[in-house]
Structure 1
C-alpha cells in the first residue's frame, strides 16, 4: 500500500484551515485556564500522595 503524500497534505491543511477560523478567543482562554487549573490540582495531589506515602513508610519502620 502506497501513501499519496500530496493528497494527505491537502486533507490535513484543509482540515486545519477549516477549524482555525472557528476557534474564538473565549475558547482559547477557557482552554488555557482549565489547563492551568489541571496542572495545579495535579501538583497538589502529587505532593499530598508523596507526604502520605512517606508518613506510612516512617510508621512501618517504627514497628
Structure 2
C-alpha cells in the first residue's frame, strides 16, 4: 500500500476516473476500490471532497 500523501493528492483524480469508466476492467477496478479503502483510512481529509455525506431532511447539522 502506498501511503504517501503527495502521491495520492497528485493521482487521486486519475484513480477515480479509472474507477468510473464503464468497461470490463474488473480486476483493476477491484484493486482500485481496495486501494481507495486503504486511502480513506489513512488520509480521510484528502478524500472528503469526493464523497457525499447523507443527510436527513429536517434534521439539524448538530444532531
Compute the TM-score of the two structures, normalised by the length of structure 1: 0.31
Higher Rg of the two aligned structures: 1
Structure with the bigger RCO (C-alpha within 8 Å, sep 6+) is 2
Bigger helix share: 1
Compute the TM-score of the two structures, normalised by the length of structure 2: 0.31
